[in-house]
A and B are shown apart, each in its own frame.
Chain A
């Protein structure tokens, strides 16, 4: 059973459109991260959120941590082909230094 459920599994959009990826759980997390991975490479950390309700922005990417610290979303505005990749959320439960990963969302932005 996956601790973190990501949706959708696949997302294909046209350049310039917006997209949102969701990460949900029944567990409460002390922190949650979002990573982006390109084929044949390791995931690269995009952001860490630690406070319930927190919103962080990274250029055209907006990350939100749910008030109850059980869910998160990643919103990309005006997507570009360079945003194409596998987006992974990962969370750490309180008093546990291990990260649990979602199954990922494959995003394809068509030029």
Chain B
């Protein structure tokens, strides 16, 4: 079964606008990661946030983590056409050993 659930499943915005995606998870984690997948390609790591961190920035990306609500959000500012992709959150589940489990993803479309 999947650990993370992204919301929304699909998002379409105009170039230049900000895009926000949310992820909820079920069990305790050490960290949460966000990945991007362009059509037909492998996944690319974007950012990792640890359970003792609340917010992290990387370029136009801003990630927040609320462990009390078991949720995270990814904000992409000033979106570009090249940001069109699927975005996945992944959590490391601690059940004996850490394993990396992905959600179903958000399909982001940036319209020119």
Q: Do A and B come from one complex?
A: no
Interface residues of B (CB under 8 A from A): none
